[in-house]
Structure 1
Amino acid sequence: MENTPPDHRLTLPVTFGDCDPAGIVFYPNFFRWFDRCFHDFMFVRAGGHAALCAQLGSAGIGLMEADAKFRAPVRENQTLELEMRATAWHEKAVRLDYAAYLGDRLALTGHELRGVFVMRDGRMGAGEVAPLRAALGL
């Protein structure tokens, strides 16, 4: 990942329950950890999802796209360092890039596109993300 410091970092101990029968992390757990990292970031910066949605007048800050590339197996009793960077702010979406490390070894890269969802005329749709960026101090 780039040389800029991450916007947020989580340390995740890997347990037996995170793994599949082959003894490696079951891949959906990485997406769960991406989500946890982003929600932890919102809590640190703005008091959490509910507080931030209330401040923005939104129905939620949600996922629009997700992807991951698995570089090395992650196993029980290892410690994963997950880094998140907000790398691109578009009109109605923000791109979050993730990198997960086992020590200095890159285990996973991934990204999400997230949007601020608002209600208009009884329908939910993507709203502007500039207020989100300001609220998070980015």
Structure 2
Amino acid sequence: MFTSRRTVTIEWGDCDPADIVFYPNYFRWFDASTAHHFKAAGLPKPELIRQYGVVGFPMVDTQAKFHKPSRHGDEVVIETTITRFGASSFDVEHRLLRDDILCVEGFEKRVLVKKSEDGQGITSCPVPEKVKARFFVSDAK
């Protein structure tokens, strides 16, 4: 499976008065890491939209396990992997590390969606096999 990595520097505004990351920021970084993961696999979100006529991949479930706090000034690495594809959904796992120590694990379930037939909403759509294939090779581009 393809794993992408990105570095985040914890800023003062990311933290609460105790100088630890305010937990919703982890979900913001995980969301950005999923988009980064598609880009790293050679499918930036605008290209995915253009090639396959989708409008995005909203999150339908999320959770996190917090092992160690992160603080202002820390530089962390977020490792992202898609671990499973369903017909229209996929599962994403994130590992946030500081100095190779696991601090937070994040989990997302996302669904690929397109505009509904009446144009008034969105509906799930199948994940194309060509998209799936990009995440199950070690040298995704």
TM-score (norm 2): 0.85
Residue equivalent to 1:45: 41
Identity, % of aligned positions: 28
Residue equivalent to 1:130: 128
Distance 2:135 2:91 in 1: 16
Distance 1:33 1:42 in 2: 14
Q: Which has the higher contact order (CA 8 A, sep 6+)?
A: 2
Distance 2:49 2:132 in 1: 13
Pairing of 1:45-64 with structure 2 (within 5 A): 45-64=41-60
Gaps of 5+ in 1: none
Q: Which amino acid aligns with 2:100?
A: D
Gaps of 5+ in 2: 137-141
Change (3 A) 1:102 1:40: same
Residue equivalent to 2:63: 67
Residue equivalent to 1:106: 102
Q: Please, which of 97, 112, 117 is the counterpart of residue 113 of structure 2?
A: 117
Distance 2:8 2:116 in 1: 38
* C-alpha deviation, 1:94, in angstroms: 0.6
Residue equivalent to 1:89: 85
Q: Which amino acid aligns with 1:38?
A: T
Q: Which amino acid aligns with 1:117?
A: V
Count of residue pairs the alignment pairs up: 133
Structure 1 residues 118-127 or 33-42, which shifts more?
A: 118-127
Over aligned residue pairs, what C-alpha RMSD do you find? Answer: 1.7
Q: Which amino acid aligns with 1:46?
A: G
Over 4 Å off, 4+ runs: none
SS at match of 1:61: coil
Distance 1:23 1:80 in 2: 15
Task: Please identify which structure carries the higher strand content.
Answer: 1
Distance 2:135 2:102 in 1: 28
